[in-house]
Copies of this chain bind each other. A is one copy, B any other.
């Protein structure tokens, strides 16, 4: 609204209005979490429905904030899938929390850019410190700590972390000539047939070609077969290819399989291949000593990432990415134009995170991580992670006791993969019926070419009763299908 106060014309929201609307927004969010179970988890709208309810043109004049919020509630919210619902068991959790939301709000309010140390020193230093805290909390190798040769950075997603790692691998393998002249070497990369699609996407982006990514066979638990990896590397080397990059996964998207780093690591060393470890969802489990075995062999990793925005109560985006040798990453990305030159950078005493990532600009994401780590403490995070794993195992035990169902694999952590006996069709029908009901939301994958249901426990507010209800609902649907 146009305001005319003391001769001053301005359309900006004034401080009093910001307080009033800000309080209202905080209350809206608090109420949203209170009533979240009253919404269908998966939005029930048809394609185009949300858009059709809104004007096709931007408003010529400003509108009141109340009107905007009213439209949000009535026209937009019905098209939202409720990822924060305790009945959301699809994909991965992407769990948020109060301290994280408020940390992100503070970041929005400050509106600082952390592209260089000099453009907001606290943004860089708090980020480095948070990544160092996590090295300690997850018991990661000392080389990843900023006091050593490596260090950590917040990326938007694990996809970007994989790409950054692959680019550094590409440059290391070509003595930084690909950056200069393009790629002339025959470089190839390896990951398991169960790895995330982001590895293939990164091959495309990096100009390495998806056909030069070898998808290695897996064992019966869907973890990479080190013998097959070794044979593939040998075959490539013999035919003139350079094995440049291996992406191992700790907790695959499909089934939460843990690739065996103690076997993969020495192969990478032998071949001079960069070992990147993607622990996007499951890395959080290493906060608990009893689950830390997933990191066995991590000392071989050239880079590692996990996503607090998946399973550590920190809202998107927040992927934590470490490298053992920061110099390689910086040489991969660094370009220094005149308008970014400054004394701090030239002194070499500071980190400029623009050289650790694809974009130049960056927001103050460390704040939400700092708020989460301090609010929960390591103890609090451990408590909730343990609880999620306990619930997943409880569900697995229920599945094992219903002969109509089978577990696809024993759940290593918080993801349960199972299916109804009888092939693809009843499982697809069961999933569709349940998701359409809006009572819960789960997704599927294919394991050994068999359609498999995935139920991932990890939403912030998921309790035993939600998992129990989900299982009852699934059983009831199975009965209905059988009838």
Contacts and interface: CB of A to CB of B under 8 A. Distances in A.
16 contacts: A12-B461, A21-B102, A47-B117, A49-B125, A59-B377, A60-B377, A60-B379, A61-B379, A78-B122, A83-B110, A156-B359, A159-B360, A160-B358, A178-B207, A197-B336, A205-B358
The interface centre, meaning the residue of A10, A167, A204, A337 with most chain B CB atoms within 10 A of its CB, is A204
B72 A106 contact: yes
B170 A370 contact: no
A238 interface: no
A413 interface: no
Contacts of A381: 11
List the 9 closest A-B pairs by CB distance, nearest first: A207-B207, A79-B122, A13-B98, A22-B26, A11-B380, A182-B209, A29-B109, A62-B377, A157-B359
A287 B101 CA distance: 33
Interface string A231-251: 000000000000000000000
Given A122-B77, A179-B204, A374-B63, A316 B113 contact: yes
Secondary structure at the A interface, as helix, strand, loop or mixed, is: helix
B101 A204 contact: no
Chain A interface size range: 35 or more
Given A49-B125, A210-B335, 15 more contacts: A13-B97, A17-B98, A18-B26, A19-B27, A60-B378, A68-B375, A76-B122, A94-B111, A96-B108, A157-B359, A163-B205, A197-B337, A253-B337, A253-B339, A317-B359
Number of copies: 2
A414 B126 CA distance: 33
Contact of A358 (B25, B163, B196, B344): B163
